[in-house]
């Protein structure tokens, strides 16, 4: 049985859209914490708390565990 990888597409926001600006800012913040581009995009769209992510990473929490907690 072959596993087909999923294709991740970032959401498309209209120009000058405040929601889009927040999304891209959150995505950048999660990337700065060490999450992959895919995981950062997923977290940026979710209700994941950026403050909690910062706390977890600053406390030495591994990326995979932090991702499981934040999801």
Mean of pLDDT values over 18-47: 94
Looking at the domain assignment, is residue 27 inside a domain? Answer: yes
Q: How far is CA 26 from CA 1, 3, 7, 64, in A?
A: 37, 30, 21, 18
Find tokens 């209209």 and name the residue.
14
Note the pLDDT tens digit of each residue in 49-70: 999 999 999 999 999 999 999 9
Instruction: Report if residue 9 sits inside a domain.
Output: no
Q: Residues of the chain with pLDDT > 70: what percent?
A: 82
- Residue 52 domain-assigned (yes or no): yes
Q: Determine contact, residues 40/32, Cβ cutoff 8 Å.
A: no
Mean pLDDT estimate for the chain: 87
Q: Which positions ≥6 away from 28 have C-beta within 8 Å?
A: 40
Query: Could you tell me the pTM of the whole model?
Result: 0.79
Contact yes or no for 64/55 (Cβ under 8 A):
no
- Could you tell me the residue range of the domain that residue 57 belongs to? 19-70
User: Is residue 24 situated within a structural domain?
Assistant: yes
Question: What percent of the chain lies above the pLDDT cut of 90?
Answer: 70
The total domain count for the chain is 1
């Amino acid at each position: 049985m072959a596993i087909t990888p999923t294709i991740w597409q970032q959401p498309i926001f209209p120009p000058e859209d405040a929601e889009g600006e927040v999304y891209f800012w959150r995505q950048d913040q999660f990337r700065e914490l060490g999450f992959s581009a895919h995981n950062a995009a997923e977290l940026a769209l979710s209700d994941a708390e950026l403050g909690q992510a910062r706390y977890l990473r600053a406390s030495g929490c591994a990326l995979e565990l932090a991702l499981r907690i934040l999801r």
